Amino acid sequence: ENVDPQKTAFLLRKAWTLYSVTPLYRFHRARLRDYARLLSAFIAAEKQKGLAVEVGVELDIKVAVSSLADLRGSEQDQAAVLVQLSLRSRASSRNSEDKLVWLGWFCSMYGDDLSENVPEDFTCLPLFLTHGAESYTSMVGSWFQKTFDCCFRRLAISPLNLSWMVAMWAGCKLDRAASAVELVFSMPRLSQPLDISYAIHPEDAKALWDTVQKTPGEITQEEVDVFMDCLYAHFHRHFKIHLSAAKLVKVSTVVASAHCDGIVKILHSQYLPGVLMLLTELAISQIQ
């Protein structure tokens, strides 16, 4: 669990789109360079076919596939796999760098529930996070699906799970000035969409969570319910609106933010493993 913050700094402060992935068949870590080459050829072929074309997008994509050795939870977890797509720079000068256009990584953080029950030849990396154009995501996903017989699905996050996240993350120790804890609700059954944003001072939120949580390190559904009920009651007292009847669509804390469409941003390297562990769990329950 000792993840070098320097190595994982590039994962922070990016909006990642989440997918669950079923186990990969016959994925060999020794062949990462080969996979990069094959994926590169696949992308070039797709572009030739005229699929997934964006106006002005260059044809020359360089693919790099690498292993992030430290990014795993338990002994049974596979180390994370990173896929990077860059535009090969046209200029011949050595100063010009390839421009990174798309990032995707497979990860398993304490995904033992899945990896324990899977036959040999299968590699479990149930969480897939992407950053960049959807057209690239779709090409990379297609290649992986064809090559390793796996299945990708967008990972949606239910309001119930979002409330777990906000309770957990609002309770995290703050070592410096923190941003507000924000919850965004979408009001149902209106002719025009209406969102309500409820922002709470992070110290107040943490103080509330501290009175609710009984055992440090453990969280129960009852505790999350009490925490949320306090927030709902407070809001109702002031505005006479029952937020509990609305749909919680986004939560934001200093640790991370998450949207129900399956988009997360991790802001604090200290809590990276914790957030990934939660997301891995969600991915696994979507697969099973």
Partner 1 sequence: HLATSLPLPSERDHFRPRIDLIVFMIDIKSKYSLKNVEASLAYVDASFFLGKVCFLVTGVGRVNACSIDMNAVCKLGETYCSPVLFCELELEGIRVATAQRLLRMLQICAGHIPGVSALSFVSLMRKSDDD
Contact residues: partner 1, CB under 8 A: 156-160, 163, 188, 221, 225, 228-229, 232, 242, 244-245, 247-248, 260
For partner 1, which is the closer residue by CB, 51 or 160?
160
Half-sphere exposure of 165 (CA within 13 A, CB side): 34
* Cβ 16 to partner 1 shortest distance, Å: 18
* Cβ 199 to partner 1 shortest distance, Å: 20
* Cβ 136 to partner 1 shortest distance, Å: 25
List, as one string, the DSSP characters of 52-117. T--TT--S-EEEEEEEETT--SSTTSPPEEEEEEEEPPSS-STTPPPEEEEEEEEE-SS-HHHHTT
For partner 1, which is the closer residue by CB, 221 or 270?
221
List, as one string, the DSSP characters of 107-134. E-SS-HHHHTT--TTEE---EEEEEE-H
CB 170 within 8 A of CB 202: yes
For partner 1, which is the closer residue by CB, 121 or 229?
229
> Using a CB cutoff of 8 Å and minimum separation of 24, what contacts does 242-247 make?
243/183, 243/185, 243/196, 243/198, 245/188, 246/185, 246/186, 246/187, 246/188, 246/196, 247/159, 247/185, 247/186, 247/188
Kindly state the tokens that stand for 257. Answer: 């933010």
Residues facing residue 81 across a β-bridge: 67, 106
CB 228 within 8 A of CB 208: no
* Cβ 23 to partner 1 shortest distance, Å: 22
For partner 1, which is the closer residue by CB, 64 or 241?
241
* Cβ 147 to partner 1 shortest distance, Å: 29
Question: Side chain identity at 137, as an amino acid letter?
Answer: T
For partner 1, which is the closer residue by CB, 135 or 244?
244
* Cβ 184 to partner 1 shortest distance, Å: 14
For partner 1, which is the closer residue by CB, 128 or 232?
232
For partner 1, which is the closer residue by CB, 74 or 158?
158
* Cβ 181 to partner 1 shortest distance, Å: 18
* Cβ 231 to partner 1 shortest distance, Å: 11
List, as one string, the DSSP characters of 219-288. --HHHHHHHHHHHHHHHHHHH---GGGSEEEEEE-SSEEEETTTEEEE--GGGHHHHHHHHHHHHHHHH-
For partner 1, which is the closer residue by CB, 78 or 286?
286
